Structure 1
Amino acid sequence: MGSIDKKSSLLQEILPVDWHNDERMGFLMSAFKDRSVNPKSWDAKLKFWRVLIEEYCVHCKQVTFDEAHLKKTFERDGCVPACLTPVIISLKNDGKVVPVEEIQKLGYHGQSWSSWTTEKLLKTPASFAVNKLWSALGYDSSASQSTTEKLVSIPALQSYAEEVLAQHCPDHSAHNASSQVMILADVILKEPNKQFAELAIMWLCRNNQAIVEDTMSPALVKFGPNVQISNVDRQTISLQRQEIALTRKLHELEEEKERCLAEIKAYLAKGMRPAARNSLKKKHELERRATKLSDSLANLHVMISQLKDSESHAQVIGAYKNASAALKAVYKDTGLNEDNVANAMDDVEEALELHDEVKTVISKPVGPMSSTLDDEELEKELAELLEDHEEAGPPGGGTSEFDINKLPSVPSSPVGAKTLNTQASQL
């Protein structure tokens, strides 16, 4: 199906269905004709290539390209597309692609991307309108505009920049999230494509997702929303560079000490004891220097750790201050203070007292009985009834006292029901 089939699987994933239709692709690969002949077909062809180019750049992380690169990429059965110039011009008119030098000219400290785009549209509206007019009429505008320049796909650059940001600052969506300060050159060198990485960092800087400080050497970079490079960051980088230099020097001393040891053994083997003694002195001197370097390196580690702790402590204090301010704002907005709370509690107590009074009133008896009888009369009558009951004694003329001595003794043999009844009647 052509040379594009030999490319990576990433390209295969974005190829549309029409790519496998020879007749359809014959039309899509040909140059643009007059739009007035078939406007619908002309627009569909333009849309096909615009969508395919954008998807290719984003999906394959191809941040920059030129027309020659696209022709080679989309070569099919030995045939390259002859219609890419108007497509590229159309993408430029819509701000989907921009020249590489336009982004590099703004650098890391240029205006934001949105304001830059707006300014470009306001400064050069005539050329944009002319390009659109030429395309609408179906004329080939390649005669007046060259597409050999290197271009940047804005959607691809944005996607790549987001990956770089997520790599160095995974929690970049969180409040006050930031990465550690790093040396810009080290970050760029670790990326597979140095130019793409540089453009991505420029994009992040102009969208307030990173900051670069290149006023002194080495240039520093820090990732995160609205971050700043503090003096602690600069001192940390300075100490880390000294740490790297001391580690390298310590490694060199260890290698030199090993060479001295080898020399000592060689001199002894040859019977050259004075030379061996001199090499041994040199070895002891190297060991002394290495010990001092190790101590200095340990001190650097402590200082770097303390600097990092101080920054984290500052962040904690900042969080405390923000929380305190938020709490005060809540009290201010809601009018909460000691007097208001005390007044509210008094109101609650009054409401509860009112509730108890209402319950008492509701529980009073109602009707004729409530007006003729009161509690004292009822208590007096109950006392008289109790006194009469005690004077009369228990029913049947018996005594009210219980004598346990009059109970029968416990039988030693089984007792029948008749005997039990007889004993019961005698009680």
Structure 2
Amino acid sequence: MFSSTRGNVQGNPSMDDLRPYLPSEWSNEERIRTLMGPMPTAQDEVARTARLTFWTAAIHHWCYVTKKFTFTFQESLSAFRRGTQQPLCLSDVLLHMNRLGEVVPLDELPLGEQGEESWVGWGRRVFISAPSRFAWNKVKQALGANNINSKVFVDTKLLQDMCEAVLKSYWKLSLDDHIAGNKPLTFASLYSKVGDCVGSADNLHLVVEALVHNGRAATTVHKDMTYVKLAVCGDLQKPVITQVEIAENELHVAQKGVANNISQLEHEIASLQQEVMLALKAKSKTKALLLLRRKKRSEKSLATQMGALENVNTCILQLQETQINKQVLGAFRSGVEAIRSSIAGDSSADAAATTMDELQQVLEECQDISSLLASGVSSQVTDVDDDTLEEELDQLVTEDQDLSSIDTNLANHMQGLKFPEVPKSNPLASVRELSSPSYSPP
């Protein structure tokens, strides 16, 4: 239904409509004129279904292409305006999509952290609040009082797809960057990673709130900065942001900032050193002294920054060691629980003695089998006299010495040989003269 085909704007046929989300039917004047009309009556079920199907798909495609999670009724009218003509059935289409849950008013969309709900609250919400709200909406629609002009709608299908896309994109980038574990990020850092998926920071904020409501993300505010932690792929537990993780993140940010300051100071000191040398060459002693004072102040600041960096690195190492110790302690506790569960059965002294007797019997049987196997192999091996082995070894040594003497004599004989000298003239030249026709014998 949707393609890159463009129609012409009604009232100005020479102007091409460059809106990329428009359906392919946009160039069909007769069909679009019909689709732009009011919603057919309930008796004409075929035409009504076709109108709803077309505009529902068109609105979803518009939201997908433009990455527009939220929109108003007036924005949808402007998006599908055709010259001076607007789709007259769009209000009925939005109400239909709202009933199906494909678009939901922003103030009715469940977002953010879910509080603990009691059984009484759950029963009130399911059996009283939801049916009452649905009935009241039906009454307002029947009376024509359901005003959608002031509402901001959310495309729930697009929101759900973008939530999955953000999770996949984030974890793909995390694997490519070799990030160990799941660490909380600031909202700005998360947007720099997955901003291409959602389009805008407001869209990402809506996605994060939806993920938090579904238990796939966690957020917290620390020093006017929002931290976000996404769930691990395949993990059904809701993520939790701890103070240790926030402290570690702040320490890494401080480490990076101090390292940048040190790099700038080192570059400044090297530049001042060069300027001092140039001033001395120019016989400007006063300027050289001023530059030298600046260099000393920069060196003092560099020493301070180096100490700060060392302190930050020490704090990060101590924090990491604390986490490792916590993991080791947790492993010990798990081991203790495993040992307790393993000996929770029949672990009396009599049972242990019986088990040891059975073990000893099995070991004795294994030892008997090993002895039999060893004796069988040794009986098949022929004993060899040590004197015979020594004679064979002496013979091998004698043969090796004979071969070495032959090689030595051959090398000495080769040293006495001399190769003939290389001729200075071509020996075949006389043969060519005798065979030439102009040659006459003497």
1:87, distance to aligned residue in structure 2 (A): 1.5
- 1:67-106 superposed matches below 5 A: 67-75=73-81, 79-101=85-107
Deviations, residues 384-412 of structure 1 (Å, cap 9, x unaligned): xxxxxxxxxxxxxxxxxxxxxxxxxxxxx
1:180, distance to aligned residue in structure 2 (A): 0.7
Residue 156 (structure 1) aligns with: 158
After TM superposition, the structure 1 stretch with the greater mean CA deviation from structure 2, 50-59 or 271-280, is 50-59
Q: For residues 328 and 172 of structure 2, what CA distance do their matches in structure 1 show? A: 20
Residue 259 (structure 2) aligns with: 247
Q: For residues 128 and 238 of structure 2, what CA distance do their matches in structure 1 show? A: 28
| 2:113 is equivalent to residue 109 of structure 1 | yes
* Contact 2:55 2:93 (8 Å CA) reproduced: yes
Deviations, residues 234-292 of structure 1 (Å, cap 9, x unaligned): 22022123223313432442454355346525533542213313422431331243244
* Contact 2:73 2:148 (8 Å CA) reproduced: no
Gaps of 5+ in 2: 1-5, 9-15, 175-179, 232-236, 359-442
- 1:393-412 superposed matches below 5 A: none
SS at match of 2:225: coil
- 1:296-375 superposed matches below 5 A: 296-301=308-313, 303-304=315-316, 307-308=319-320, 310-311=322-323, 314-315=326-327, 318=330
Deviations, residues 192-238 of structure 1 (Å, cap 9, x unaligned): 41001111111111111111111543332211141112232022022
Q: How many residues align?
A: 330
| 2:238 is equivalent to residue 226 of structure 1 | yes
Residue 36 (structure 2) aligns with: 29
- 1:265-284 superposed matches below 5 A: 265=277, 267-284=279-296
Gaps of 5+ in 1: 348-427
* Contact 2:25 2:31 (8 Å CA) reproduced: yes
Q: For residues 92 and 76 of structure 2, what CA distance do their matches in structure 1 show? A: 13
Residue 202 (structure 2) aligns with: 195
Query: More relative contact order in 1 or in 2 (CA 8 Å, sep 6+)?
Result: 1
Which residue, out of 115, 123, 134, partners 2:129? 123
Q: Please report the TM-score for the alignment, with normalisation by the length of structure 1.
A: 0.61
Q: 1:306 to 1:209 in 2, by over 3 A?
A: farther
Q: For residues 130 and 247 of structure 2, what CA distance do their matches in structure 1 show? A: 45
Q: 1:96 to 1:291 in 2, by over 3 A?
A: same
- Give the RMSD, CA atoms, in angstroms: 4.5
SS at match of 1:247: helix
Residue 50 (structure 1) aligns with: 56
| 2:211 is equivalent to residue 207 of structure 1 | no
Q: Please report the TM-score for the alignment, with normalisation by the length of structure 2.
A: 0.59
* Contact 2:262 2:302 (8 Å CA) reproduced: yes
* Contact 1:179 1:222 (8 Å CA) reproduced: yes
Q: For residues 342 and 66 of structure 2, what CA distance do their matches in structure 1 show? A: 50
Q: 1:119 to 1:40 in 2, by over 3 A?
A: farther
* Contact 1:260 1:280 (8 Å CA) reproduced: yes
Which residue, out of 279, 291, 298, partners 1:286? 298
Q: For residues 22 and 331 of structure 1, what CA distance do their matches in structure 2 show? A: 82
SS at match of 1:6: coil
Q: 1:285 to 1:179 in 2, by over 3 A?
A: same
Which structure has the larger Rg over C-alpha atoms?
A: 1
